[in-house]
């Protein structure tokens, strides 16, 4: 009998790759989406849509029972919000409610994989440290704090659980890093301030593959997910320019100017109760000097072997953007 998986955040960028990986592993996919979600890109995939009310634990439990859900890949969440409380409600409380509902289904439920973020730990405190799973968390954003809260509260429920902490995810269908590629393609290579950085990246397919494989591995725990390489500040742009056959003017925007802009956006958007594209907290994350992380635990315990380094991953991404006439 085919086993089933519930994938939350299924209409999103990472959700799409999770669905593909689940289908490749012969799982019956239930895609949790909002009723107003754009799902046209999923129309040719063999998925069943479900709509979750994360505030109703009994309702969630009933849905899991009716569909005989064996596994949960929980990727739903919010990356932009106005207040810490909103982050906590959506990223932590709703995740906890789903985990509690799963715990009630002992007849079918086998395991949950929770997609957290390296932001739950925060950047390394100096240039020498490599972020490990045992590194003391010091998140620098409301988003990171909400993910850390979710990790702690879900872990306390007592279900079979694996927590993945991916670093910056990119790949086909991504919108955030696509902005960087589009800017470079238009001849501009901007940076905030002048300082060295250590960065890490991971392709969405690698995240999806390890997330699905983790469902079938008895080992539980928390794992950093990256491609295993440490990149300097300018490598992303240098690789992108090489692939795009483009030259781009390298521009350093003074930090004081960016701080003023972040404060202005934070204040004005706050009046409208809308999240700002960039705020003072997000600036701390963007300008952190060290996001280098260790993935040896995931390689050993989850058999994680990333297929893409940054150059191969950007080739794959740029190819998709060009095929879809976005670049």
What are the DSSP calls for 46-77, one per residue? -EEEE---TT-HHHHHHHHHHTT--EEEE---
Local confidence band at 259 (pLDDT 50, 70, 90 cut-offs): confident
Task: Name the more confident of 279 and 200.
Answer: 200
pLDDT value for 260: 86
- Residues 310 and 235: beta-carbon distance below 8 Å: yes
pLDDT of residue 293: 97
Q: What is the mean pLDDT of residues 49-67?
A: 96
Task: Tell me if 123 is assigned to some domain.
Answer: yes
Q: Is residue 143 part of a domain?
A: yes
Between CA 216 and CA 220 the distance in angstroms is 10
> Rounded to the nearest 10 degrees, how much is the dihedral formed by the CA atoms of 100, 138, 200, 153?
0
Residue 48 and residue 54 in contact, taking contact as beta carbons nearer than 8 Å: no
Q: How many CB atoms lie within 10 A of CB 246?
A: 15
Least confident of 92-101, 134-143, 215-224, 261-270: 261-270
Which residues, other chains included, contact 312 with Cβ-Cβ below 8 Å and sequence gap of 6+?
A: none
Letter string b/e over residues 264-300, b meaning 16 or more CB atoms within 10 A of that residue's CB? ebbeebeeeeebbebbebbbbbebbbbbbbbbebbee
In 3D space, the residue among 211, 177, 304 whose CA is nearest the CA of residue 20 turns out to be 211
What's the confidence (pLDDT) of residue 283? Answer: 86
Q: Contact at 8 Å (CB) between 146 and 87?
A: yes
Q: Is residue 49 part of a domain?
A: yes
- Mention every residue, 6+ apart, whose C-beta is less than 8 A from residue 142: 81, 83, 84, 87, 281
Q: Which of 122, 134, 124 is nearest to 222 (CA)?
A: 134
Residue 190 resides in a domain: no
Q: What is the mean pLDDT of the chain?
A: 94
- Asked whether residue 260 is domain-assigned, the answer is no
User: So what's the pLDDT on residue 31?
Assistant: 97
CB atoms within 10 A of CB 301: 15
Output the domain CATH number for residue 152. Answer: 3.40.50.720
- Confirm whether 112 is domain-assigned: yes
Weakest mean pLDDT among 90-104, 159-173, 179-193, 265-279: 265-279
Please compute the mean of the pLDDT values over residues 281-302 and round it to a whole number: 94
Q: What is the mean pLDDT of residues 161-177?
A: 96
For the record, the structure tokens of 102 come out as 């799963």
**106 — pLDDT class (breaks 50, 70, 90):** confident
Can you tell me the mean pLDDT for 178-182? 94
Into how many domains does the chain fold? 1
168 to 91, 204, 313: CA distances (angstroms)? 18, 9, 12
122 band by pLDDT with thresholds 50, 70 and 90: very high
Domain, as residue range, for 147: 4-174+199-230+290-307
130 part of a folded domain? yes
> Does residue 166 belong to any structural domain of this protein?
yes
């Amino acid at each position: 009998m085919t086993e089933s998986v519930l994938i939350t955040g299924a209409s999103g960028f990472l959700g799409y790759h999770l669905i593909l990986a689940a289908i490749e592993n012969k799982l019956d996919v239930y895609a949790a989406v909002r009723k107003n979600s754009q799902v046209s890109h999923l129309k040719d995939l063999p998925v069943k849509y479900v709509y979750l009310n994360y505030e109703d634990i009994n309702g969630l439990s009933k849905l899991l029972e009716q569909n005989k859900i064996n596994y949960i890949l929980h990727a739903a969440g919010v990356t932009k919000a106005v207040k810490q409380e909103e982050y906590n409600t959506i990223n932590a409380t709703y995740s906890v409610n789903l985990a509690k509902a799963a715990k009630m289904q002992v007849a079918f439920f086998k395991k949950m994989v929770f997609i957290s973020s390296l932001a739950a730990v925060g950047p390394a405190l100096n240039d020498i440290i490599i972020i490990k799973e045992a590194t003391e968390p010091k998140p620098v954003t409301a988003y990171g704090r909400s993910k850390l809260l979710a990790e702690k509260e879900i872990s306390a429920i007592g279900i079979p659980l694996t927590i993945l902490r991916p670093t910056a995810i990119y790949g086909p269908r991504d919108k955030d890093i696509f902005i960087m590629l589009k800017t470079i393609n238009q001849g501009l290579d901007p940076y905030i301030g002048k300082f060295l950085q250590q960065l890490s990246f991971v392709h969405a397919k690698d995240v999806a593959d390890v997330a699905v494989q983790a469902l079938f591995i008895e080992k539980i725990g928390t794992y950093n997910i990256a491609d295993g390489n440490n990149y300097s500040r300018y490598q992303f742009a240098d690789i992108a320019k090489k692939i795009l056959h483009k030259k781009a003017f390298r521009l350093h925007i003074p930090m004081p100017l960016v701080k003023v802009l972040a404060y202005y956006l934070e204040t004005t958007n706050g009046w409208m109760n809308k999240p700002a594209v960039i705020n003072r907290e997000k600036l701390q994350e963007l300008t952190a000097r060290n996001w280098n992380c260790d993935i040896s635990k995931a390689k050993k315990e989850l058999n994680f072997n990333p297929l893409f380094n940054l150059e191969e991953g950007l080739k794959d991404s740029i190819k998709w953007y060009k095929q879809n006439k976005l670049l």
